[in-house]
Amino acid sequence: MFEFAKIASTPPVRLLHDERGRLEEKRDGYARISCPGGRDFWVEERFVVYPPVD
């Protein structure tokens, strides 16, 4: 898992497809997403898409 303090020194990676996961944390304009299979990552919060409420 990436540490938040290391975001500025970590090169960004463009995902090839959408990922679904649980929003675990928000901090300074970033959101930490936890996906099935143990994959955790930080994304800019502006790129997070929330599902519509039924």
Structure confidence by residue, pLDDT tens digits, 1-54: 567 888 878 888 888 888 899 999 999 999 999 999 888 889 999 999 988 898
Among the listed residues 16, 5, 17, 13, the one whose alpha carbon sits nearest the alpha carbon of residue 43: 13
pTM attached to this predicted model: 0.76
Residue 54 lies in a domain: no
| Amino acid 24: pLDDT | 93
Residue 53 lies in a domain: no
| Amino acid 2: pLDDT | 60
Query: Alpha-carbon distance 35 to 43, whole Å?
Result: 13
- Structural domain containing residue 14: 4-47
Residue 52 lies in a domain: no
